[in-house]
């Protein structure tokens, strides 16, 4: 459930448009499972805290006392924009964290790269010299 909420936050931050494929059309939950396996606890805590702020802060951004997923599409958009440029530094840093992590998924997507004239990535070997 939590991973789906994180995935939802990333999807509305990087939505598909006429110009580009967004995170909403990508396999976000498997990516997040991998992210949680690979990253130090501090990164996971920072991402979770950022998502929590994103979900619960519409009252602070647009004055609507509802969690972000319950907002209308138009209000969700207003909430996103206000949070990304919020006067309180730590609030706008939460968007930076979500964009940083979601960007790692989005920018490596073969379809996105193709539409921007870039070659797809090969698979990371993940290997090292063991002896």
Partner 1 sequence: MQAPQAGRHFSFATGPDVELTADYVVVGSGAGGAAAAITLARAGRSVVLCEAGPWRDPEDYPHTMYGTMRDMFNNWGSLVATGDSIIPVVQARLVGGTPVINSAIVVRTPADVLEDWRVRHGLGGVFNEDTIGRAQDRIEQELQIQPSEAEILGPSSERMLQALERLGLEGHPTMRNVANCQGVMQCLQGCRNRAKQTSNVLWIRELLQLGGTVLSCAEVERVAIERGRASGIRGHFRHPEERNRGAGFRVQATRGVFIAASATGSAPLLQRSGVRLPYLGQGWRAHPGAGVLGVYDEHINMHRGPSQAAASIHYRADIGIKLESLSLPLELIAARVGGAGPQLMHKLAQYRKTAMWVAAVRCDAVGSIKRTLWGSTALHFVPSKKDLWRLREGLKIVSKLHFEVGATKVWPGVYGMPAEITPDTLDLFDQAPLDNKAYTWVLSHLFGGCSLGADPATSVVAPDLHLRGVRNLHVVDASAIPTTLGVNPQHTIMAMAMVAAERLVNEERP
Sites of contact with partner 1 (CB under 8 A): 12-17, 19-20, 22, 38-40, 42-43, 46, 76-77, 80-81, 83-85, 89, 92-93, 95-96, 99-100, 102-108, 112-113, 116-118, 121-131
| CB closer to partner 1 out of 67 and 103 | 103
Closer residue to partner 1, CB minimum distance, 1 or 122: 122
CA distances from 49 to 11, 33, 42, 107 (A): 17, 17, 10, 23
Let me know: does 92 contact 6? Beta carbons within 8 Å.
no
Between 65 and 122, CB nearer to partner 1: 122
Residue 114 CB, nearest approach to partner 1 (Å): 12
Q: How far is Cα 56 from Cα 112, in angstroms, rounded to an integer?
A: 30
Q: In angstroms, what is the minimal distance from the CB of 26 to partner 1?
A: 13
If 0-12 CB within 10 Å is exposed, 13-18 middle and 19+ buried, where does residue 69 land? Answer: middle
């Amino acid at each position: 459930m939590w991973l789906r909420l994180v995935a939802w936050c990333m999807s509305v931050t990087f939505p598909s448009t006429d110009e580009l494929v967004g995170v909403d059309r990508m396999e976000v939950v498997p990516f997040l499972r991998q992210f949680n396996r690979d990253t130090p606890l501090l990164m996971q805590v920072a991402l979770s805290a950022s998502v929590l702020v994103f979900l619960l802060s519409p009252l602070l951004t647009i004055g609507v006392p509802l969690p972000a997923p319950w907002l209308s599409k138009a209000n969700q958009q207003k909430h996103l924009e206000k949070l990304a440029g919020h006067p309180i530094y730590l609030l706008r840093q939460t968007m930076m964290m979500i964009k940083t992590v979601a960007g790692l998924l989005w920018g490596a997507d073969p379809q996105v790269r193709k539409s921007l004239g870039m070659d797809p990535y090969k698979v990371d070997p993940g290997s090292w010299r063991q002896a």
